[in-house]
Amino acid sequence: MLSNDAQSILEYYKALLNDLHVSPAAPENLSKDDTFLAVEQTLRTIRAAAAELGNGNLSHDIKGKGYVLGSMKNLQASLRNLTWITKTIASGDFSQRVHFLGDFSEAFNSMTEKLESSIHELEEARSHFEMVFQTIPDATVITKVADGTLIAYNRAFLEATKFTDEDLTGGQFNIADLYVDLSQREVFLKTLERDGNVENLEFSFYAKNNARHIGLVSSKRIMIDDIPHALSVIRDITQLKAIEAKLQQSEERHRLLADNAADVIWTMDLEGRFSYISPSVEKLRGYTIEEIMAQTPEEVLCPDSLIHMQEGLARAINSVQNGLPFQVFRGELEQPCKDGSTVWTEATVSGIYSEDGRFIGMLGVTRDISERKLMEEEIRRLSITDKLTQSFNRLKLDETLEQQFESSKGGGVPFAIIILDIDHFKLVNDTYGHQVGDRVLIELVEALHDNVRAGDVVGRWGGEEFLIILPETTLADATVLAERLRQAVAGHAFSTAGQVTISLGVSAFTTDSSPESIVSRADTALYQAKEKGRNRVEVK
């Protein structure tokens, strides 16, 4: 059994080695012992050096002698050398190799070789990027951040602005020339500089012949040859803004009517009981004042709206009970009507105070917003609808793909997709003109809808390419459907163009890490269908 002094020394060394945040005191009877102090100093040097190495500080001066300290100095030197080699690889020099870190050397050298290979693959990816860039359905440009010089643009940009390639070549076109208000350009640049990206910033721009449009621009700051550029996607929302203007006019008209007693005005006590309701409530909900005064909260509001209202009023009443002003409640609420339907209303609830400042109840104003809701739904429909074919657009397809992917990833629910492309569509446009080509796209979508289920999602992926998302569908079932679609299109007599065929690529969720990998497989299958003669289905 250890003596008390030996036990004390062991406890001291244990604390010194095991916990960096503890600075134990040496046993008092050994505080002047040279041998003990030498060992203690070595342990403290190891303790400090290990902490600095653990924090990544390779410049720490490790003082002392002995096998352990020597090994730590060797490790520090190796790590410094590794840092230098890593910097040379980062600069593009892949000739360096590591031979001094045992098993790690093999892993590091393998990583270097793979990185060098990836650089070569990037070169091949540039041509693929150009192809993808041109198929983006929204107007997309790459510009220099400093002066706005237009570096690259896709076909959708030409369609949106009505410019031609001749208008934009020569390197003289400046994206700032599109802006109706240059102050909006300044906001864009400041946001891009601050955040590195811009999301859905609204701006007014000129198309060719000074036609004015309204767009939403989303951008990301990228580096090309060490020069800052902006990759920007522009959505033309001119039509949506026109609908919003119509909506605002409608709201103003309804507000004028409301000022003449169209709104329902009511008062309520802190227990949630009506103390007054204006006569206009009967026009809104069909119930008489007497019937509504006798209704419970569950009869006044639909379930989700009741929860929303109760939460808002609870916060407001809590403020009053704590001596704070009543928090005005504003919300959209769904209310049941006497005929069994429901009506959407906008309610504003504020506090009623006596002359001496005492809170005595709540005052509410309820307005019918049914028309606004319908217009909002129409705006939503337009935002996810392809203007030509009236099928879903890329935005809706991306949203649905993400939803289906998460559902399959989390719950094992199968889903599949079909990508299809019209064979020799350019020949149709060249032979009959773009109007006939547009008609072919419209009739194709009609044929697709006639042969898919109600829950399947059909949308325009870009140009003459379409994507069909098939929830709860296996790869085998999707392949059968693809063949049925191919036969249906091949047997359809298109207006003016006559017979048109399609090629289809099919894939389904397996163990994919992202929706993009599923789309990539279907796209590869479509390419194979084209390579094998078109008018066929391929599965990947």
pTM of the model: 0.42
For domain 243-374, give the fold.
Beta-Lactamase (3.30.450)
Contacts of 64 (CB under 8 A, 6+ apart): 41, 42, 45
DSSP run (H or E) holding 195: helix 182-195
Give the lowest-confidence range in 93-102, 167-176, 355-364: 93-102
Across the range 200-216, mean pLDDT stands at 86
Across the range 333-355, mean pLDDT stands at 90
| Two structure tokens written together for 535 | 């008018």
For 408, the 3-state DSSP assignment is helix
Query: Cβ distance 488 to 522 under 8 Å?
Result: no
Q: Is the dihedral of CA 440, 446, 451, 452 positive or negative?
A: positive
Confidence of residue 409 (pLDDT cuts 50, 70, 90): confident
489 vs 499: CA distance, rounded Å: 8
Domain range 385-539, CATH architecture:
2-Layer Sandwich (3.30)
For 431, the 3-state DSSP assignment is helix
Supply the pLDDT for residue 415.
Answer: 93
Looking at every residue in the chain, the average pLDDT score rounds to: 82
Summarised one tens digit per residue, pLDDT across range 54-103 is: 777 777 777 777 777 776 777 677 667 667 666 766 666 666 666 656 65
| Two structure tokens written together for 75 | 């490790």
Q: Is the dihedral of CA 42, 46, 47, 51 positive or negative?
A: positive
Query: 136-236 and 243-374 share one CATH topology?
Result: yes
Q: Is the CATH number of domain 136-236 3.40.190.10? A: no
| Two structure tokens written together for 503 | 């090629």
Of the two residues 457 and 4, the one the predictor is more confident about is 457
Residue 123 has pLDDT above 60, yes or no: no
Across the range 281-305, mean pLDDT stands at 91
Please name the residue ranges forming H helices in 356-433. Answer: 370-383, 394-411, 425-432
Among the listed residues 190, 236, 188, the one whose alpha carbon sits nearest the alpha carbon of residue 212: 236
Residue 118 has pLDDT above 70, yes or no: no
161 vs 153: CA distance, rounded Å: 11
92 to 8, 10, 98, 119, 127: CA distances (angstroms)? 56, 52, 16, 9, 22
Q: What residue type is assigned to position 130 of the chain?
A: E
For 311, the 3-state DSSP assignment is helix
Across the range 170-186, mean pLDDT stands at 83
Query: Cβ distance 466 to 391 under 8 Å?
Result: yes
Supply the pLDDT for residue 533.
Answer: 93
Among the listed residues 64, 373, 129, the one whose alpha carbon sits nearest the alpha carbon of residue 247: 373
Across the range 393-407, mean pLDDT stands at 90
Query: Cβ distance 50 to 64 under 8 Å?
Result: no
Among the listed residues 301, 302, 280, the one whose alpha carbon sits nearest the alpha carbon of residue 289: 280
Side by side, the strands of the sheet bearing 150-153 are 150-153, 139-144, 227-236, 212-224, 197-206
Query: Cβ distance 505 to 523 under 8 Å?
Result: yes
**Domain boundary assignment for the chain:** 4-85, 136-236, 243-374, 385-539
